[in-house]
Amino acid sequence: MFEAFFEGLLLVFQWPAIGFLVLGVLIGIWLGAVPGLGGAIGLVLLIPFTFNMDPVPAFALLLGMYAVTATSDTIASVMLGIPGTSASQATILDGYPLAQKGQAARAFGAAFTVSAFGGVFGAFILALSLPLILPIILAFNSPELFMLGVLGLSMVGSLSGGSMVKGLAVAALGLLMSTIGYAETDAIPRYYLGTDYLLAGLPLIPVVLGLFAVPEIMELALRNTSISRVEATKSREGSLLQGIKDAFKNWWLATRCAAIGTYIGMLPGLGAAIVDWLAYGHAVQSAKDKSKFGQGDIRGVIAPEAANNATRGGSLLPTVAFGIPGNLGTAILLGALLIQGLRPGPDMLTTELHVTFSMVWSIVVANIVVAVLLMMWSNQVAKIAFVPGHLLVPGVILFVFMGSWLGGGALGDWITVFVMGLVGFFMKRGGWPRPPLILALILGSIMENSFQLTMRVYQDLSWLLKPINLTILVLIIITLVLAARGITTNRRADTGDKEKEIVTGEGSEKNPVVSLPFAIALLIFFGWALVEALPWPSTAGRFPVTAAVPGIGLVLLAVIADARAYMGAVRDSGGLHPAWAKASEMAVLDRAIVFFGYLAAMIILALIMGQKLAIPIFIAIYLIRWGKYSTRFALTYAAGGWVLLVGFYDRIMNLLWHNSWLSDWLPEALPAFVPAWLFV
pLDDT, residue 161, reads 57
Least confident of 19-33, 216-230, 355-369, 452-466: 216-230
Over the stretch 317-330, which tens digit does the pLDDT of each residue have?
A: 777 766 666 566 67
pLDDT, residue 523, reads 95
Which of 490, 525, 551 represents a domain boundary (last residue)?
490
Specify the DSSP element, H or E, that contains 189.
strand 189-190
Higher per-residue pLDDT: 391 or 239:
391
Domain that holds residue 330: 2-490
| Mean pLDDT along residues 29-33 | 78
pLDDT band at 499 (very low <50, low <70, confident <90, very high): very low
Within-domain flag for 602: yes
| Mean per-residue pLDDT over the chain, rounded | 81
The answer to whether 182 touches 392, Cβ cutoff 8 Å, is no
55-72 helix and 39-46 helix, angle to the nearest 10 degrees: 150
CA dihedral (379, 380, 385, 390) in degrees, to 10, reads 180
| Mean pLDDT along residues 13-26 | 87
Distance CA 546, CA 526 (A): 11
Residues 472 and 595 grouped into a single domain:
no
Residues 6+ apart with CB under 8 A from 456: none
Least confident of 50-64, 221-235, 449-463: 221-235
pLDDT band at 672 (very low <50, low <70, confident <90, very high): confident
Distance CA 580, CA 132 (A): 62
Residues 6+ apart with CB under 8 A from 442: 86, 178, 204, 273
Over the Cα atoms of the chain, what is R_g? Answer: 25
- Name which of 432, 428, 438 is nearest 592 in CA terms: 428
Within-domain flag for 550: no
pLDDT band at 87 (very low <50, low <70, confident <90, very high): low
Q: In this structure, what are the phi and psi dihedrals at residue 507, rounded to the nearest 5 degrees?
A: 75, 15
pLDDT band at 500 (very low <50, low <70, confident <90, very high): very low
pLDDT, residue 234, reads 52
Within-domain flag for 35: yes
pLDDT band at 230 (very low <50, low <70, confident <90, very high): low
pLDDT score of 238 more than 70: no
Within-domain flag for 532: no
Over the stretch 607-656, which tens digit does the pLDDT of each residue have?
A: 999 999 999 999 999 999 988 899 999 999 999 999 999 998 888 878 88
| Cα–Cα separations (whole angstroms), residue 604 to 293, 398, 408, 609 | 41, 15, 19, 9
pLDDT band at 218 (very low <50, low <70, confident <90, very high): confident
Residues 240 and 351 grouped into a single domain:
yes
CB atoms within 10 A of CB 158: 27
3-state helix, strand, coil in the chain (%, to 5): 75, 0, 20
The answer to whether 564 touches 570, Cβ cutoff 8 Å, is no
Residues 598 and 484 grouped into a single domain:
no
Least confident of 304-308, 378-382, 589-593: 378-382
Distance CA 360, CA 354 (A): 10
Q: In this structure, what are the phi and psi dihedrals at residue 424, rounded to the nearest 5 degrees?
A: -65, -35
Taking CA 663 as the corner, what is the angle to CA 658 and CA 667, rounded to the nearest 5 degrees? 140
Which of 490, 507, 540 represents a domain boundary (last residue)?
490
Least confident of 23-37, 109-123, 512-526, 611-625: 23-37
Give 147's strand partners: none
pLDDT, residue 274, reads 72
pLDDT, residue 417, reads 92
Residues 455 and 602 grouped into a single domain:
no
| Mean pLDDT along residues 92-113 | 83
User: What one-character DSSP code corresponds to residue 655?
Assistant: P
Within-domain flag for 583: no
pLDDT, residue 385, reads 63
- Count the domains in the chain: 2
pLDDT band at 228 (very low <50, low <70, confident <90, very high): low
Least confident of 4-13, 222-231, 519-528, 597-606: 222-231
CB atoms within 10 A of CB 552: 18
Over the stretch 574-611, which tens digit does the pLDDT of each residue have?
A: 888 888 888 787 878 888 999 999 999 999 999 999 99
Residues 81 and 208 grouped into a single domain:
yes
The answer to whether 35 touches 399, Cβ cutoff 8 Å, is yes
CA 175 to chain centre: 16
- Name which of 513, 534, 476, 548 is nearest 173 in CA terms: 548
pLDDT band at 425 (very low <50, low <70, confident <90, very high): very high
DSSP 289-350: --TTTTTT-THHHHHHHHHHHHHHHHHHHHHHHHS--SSHHHHHHHHHHHHTT--SSHHHHT
Taking CA 651 as the corner, what is the angle to CA 647 and CA 652, rounded to the nearest 5 degrees? 95
Distance CA 657, CA 652 (A): 14
Sign of the alpha-carbon dihedral angle for 601, 605, 611, 612: negative
Higher per-residue pLDDT: 499 or 638:
638
| Mean pLDDT along residues 140-150 | 80
The answer to whether 376 touches 76, Cβ cutoff 8 Å, is no
Distance CA 358, CA 337 (A): 13
| Mean pLDDT along residues 234-258 | 80
Whole-number percent of the chain with pLDDT over 70:
83
pLDDT, residue 606, reads 94
Least confident of 62-71, 227-236, 658-667: 227-236
Higher per-residue pLDDT: 122 or 437:
437
Distance CA 430, CA 562 (A): 10
Within-domain flag for 599: yes
Higher per-residue pLDDT: 528 or 648:
528
Within-domain flag for 214: yes
Distance CA 351, CA 347 (A): 5
Residues, the chain: 680
Q: Which amino acid is at 412?
A: G
| Cα–Cα separations (whole angstroms), residue 226 to 378, 456, 640 | 18, 54, 22
| Mean pLDDT along residues 55-77 | 81
Distance CA 382, CA 358 (A): 34
The answer to whether 417 touches 405, Cβ cutoff 8 Å, is no
pLDDT score of 493 more than 50: no
Distance CA 530, CA 552 (A): 9
Give the three-class secondary structure for 79.
Answer: helix
| Mean pLDDT along residues 262-267 | 74
Q: Name, of 217-221, 309-313, 620-624, 652-656, the range with top average pLDDT.
A: 620-624
Half-sphere exposure (Cβ direction) of 34: Cα atoms closer than 13 Å: 24
pLDDT band at 231 (very low <50, low <70, confident <90, very high): low
Distance between first and last Cα of the chain: 56
Residues 595 and 469 grouped into a single domain:
no
Alpha helices in 340-466 (DSSP H): 346-349, 353-382, 389-408, 411-430, 435-458
| Mean pLDDT along residues 79-96 | 74
Give the three-class secondary structure for 89.
Answer: coil
pLDDT, residue 533, reads 93
pLDDT, residue 86, reads 61
Which of 443, 465, 490 represents a domain boundary (last residue)?
490
pLDDT, residue 496, reads 45
The answer to whether 11 touches 354, Cβ cutoff 8 Å, is yes
pLDDT score of 498 more than 50: no
Give the three-class secondary structure for 182.
Answer: strand
Residues 594 and 475 grouped into a single domain:
no
pLDDT, residue 654, reads 83
Within-domain flag for 562: no
| Mean pLDDT along residues 508-512 | 79
The answer to whether 104 touches 226, Cβ cutoff 8 Å, is no
| Mean pLDDT along residues 539-557 | 92
Residues 156 and 285 grouped into a single domain:
yes
Residues 358 and 221 grouped into a single domain:
yes
Over the stretch 337-370, which tens digit does the pLDDT of each residue have?
A: 777 777 766 667 667 777 777 887 887 888 788 8
Residues 596 and 472 grouped into a single domain:
no
| Mean pLDDT along residues 66-89 | 74
Q: In this structure, what are the phi and psi dihedrals at residue 196, rounded to the nearest 5 degrees?
A: -65, -25
